[in-house]
Amino acid sequence: MKAERDGTKARLLAEARDLYLEEGFARFSLREVARRAGVSPAAVYRHYDGKEALFGEVCAAGLQVFYGYLVRSLAEATPQARLAASARHYLSFALEHPADYRVLFMGGAADAPTAPPSGEARVPEPTFQFLVDRVRECMQAGALREGDPEETAAIIWAHVHGLVSLRLTGHFVRAGTDAQFARFYERAADQLVAGLRP
């Protein structure tokens, strides 16, 4: 019975993710998710109170997978190597889980319920905090210029996110295969970090 429940939840999360990417949050409905998953609307309500709860779990599940990729970089021996590995694992997550990446970082944030009200600060996500921590340890080791670790992390994130987003939307087709793009991406990330050294 538990395996059946888990299977139903996994289907609901996958269908909810895909529906959100196709329609945006404004047109996202539990009834449509249920239809796509092949269950009754009542079955969805046994798991979720509303569409906000379901969408929240879609995001949480994607973040959990993403964080699992990032923590692999902690196996590296030096702060610089951990920062470089974080960038590589960021790309790996995006290429291996493009739908989750789009929901988390590209998909209609303007109408998503996770966006904070205008002017309200958001507590850093654990995945962004992970990057801040890698930057901070590089600064402490003298591998990056001293400064605000959050600001430097935001610069790095904007750079790698821009490259990944362009790839996922088909704007870097001329970079070749994913493996060829990965080599270009690593060179670009290395050049950015080189410009942030003391």
Q: For residues 157 and 151, give the distance between their C-alpha atoms in angstroms, rounded to a whole number.
A: 10
Where do we find the tokens 């995006």? 94
For the chain, residues classed under CATH 1.10.10.60 are: 2-58
C-alpha–C-alpha distance, residues 8 and 150, integer Å:
39
Per-residue pLDDT of the chain (198 residues; tens, 9 = 90+): 565 666 888 899 999 999 999 988 888 899 999 999 999 988 888 889 999 999 999 999 999 999 999 999 999 999 999 999 999 999 999 999 999 999 999 875 445 554 444 444 444 588 999 999 999 999 999 999 999 999 999 999 999 999 999 999 999 888 899 999 999 999 999 999 999 999
pTM: 0.87
CATH 1.10.357.10 segments of the chain: 61-194
CATH architecture of 61-194: Orthogonal Bundle (1.10)
| Contacts with 83 (C-beta within 8 Å, 6 or more apart), sequence order | 73, 134, 135, 138, 143, 193
How far is 158 from 26, CA to CA, in rounded Å?
Answer: 27
CATH architecture of 2-58: Orthogonal Bundle (1.10)
